Amino acid sequence: GIHTTAQFNTKIYNLSGDGPHIWFSDPLSNYMFDESMLSFAADNISLALNEEGDAYTLKSAVNDDCLVNLTFTRTCPGFAIGKDGTTYFGTDPENPWGSMRHAFWPRCTVEGTITTKEKVYDLKGRAMFSQALQGMKPHHAAARWNFINFQTPSFSAIMMEYTTPPSYGSTIVNVGGIVKDGEIIYAGTGNTATHTGASQDKESDWPEPTAIKWEWNGKTKDQQEVVAEINGPLGPRLDRIDVMAEVPGFIKTIAGSVAGTRPYIFQFSPQEKLTLKLKIGDTEYSEEGYMFSEATFIS
């Protein structure tokens, strides 16, 4: 039968292009959650929420080549869309046969280090923290994904979008938000991610995006209109991940038997900074920021 496993992944990107990215992926033993289900531990690793509920500390010595000690402290409220951030799949709302949940701390400070054999990375700065639970097989949940984390000095813009397979009507599900320190400006489902340019990637045979337009539309809590946009070239990709080449063998046999499943993740972080254009009511803002983005193709 299928048994539950836990894995810890750490990835450090080489932005200069003069060497490979550093990626560690280690299985965990004796994992458990605390009573609140908000903190997690396994042999040589812990992810712990503080008493105030506004900071997570991640400590890992699972791999001697990658020692992690990071604290994420949220600087604005977190958000989840709907009752608890869960999307359900099926024909009967009372008895769904699949679900996914997404919750975000979109704007955090981060302090701490990642220590490899080569160097110590001091990661003091800005971060986002998200929880994603996928309660179904990936190829049943979605055919495509788009994700963006965009951080400017004043604002954070987050969006997560997936398109379900044709068996679920090729439905687009989008959750996102715009926040600043201390305040959620907008969070909701009125957002879009549009690939405005693409080139066919030879290895994966997927249309790798070269430019994406991200749009947020909604209202503040006092009913002011919120419109935001990030639009521009992605530049050279950070990475292309052949998921089938990375997953454990027993998962591969399950997924590989599904005709037409060809999962690839394209990752981007334009070094030519893009700009968040934001309008709240009649007030307009424009700020450059740092971006991490993913475009995933599955089927």
Does the pTM of the predicted model rise above 0.85? yes
CA–CA distance, 127 with 14 (Å, rounded to integer): 18
Q: Helix, strand, coil proportions of the chain in percent (round to 5)?
A: 5, 60, 35
Phi–psi pair at 140, nearest 5 degrees: -80, -30
pLDDT in tens, the chain (299 residues): 667 889 999 999 999 888 999 999 999 999 999 999 999 999 999 999 999 999 999 999 999 999 999 999 999 999 999 999 999 999 998 999 899 999 999 999 999 999 999 999 999 999 999 999 988 888 888 999 999 999 999 999 999 999 999 988 999 999 999 999 999 999 999 999 999 999 999 999 999 999 999 999 999 999 999 999 999 999 999 999 998 887 766 555 555 556 668 899 999 999 999 999 999 999 999 999 999 999 999 99
Domain ranges of the chain: 7-297
Paired with 63 in beta bridges are 66
Distance CA 181, CA 171 (A): 33
Q: Where are the beta strands (DSSP E) in 2-64?
A: 7-12, 22-27, 32-33, 40-42, 45-49, 55-63
CA 123/CA 111 separation, integer angstroms: 6
Residue 199 amino acid letter: S
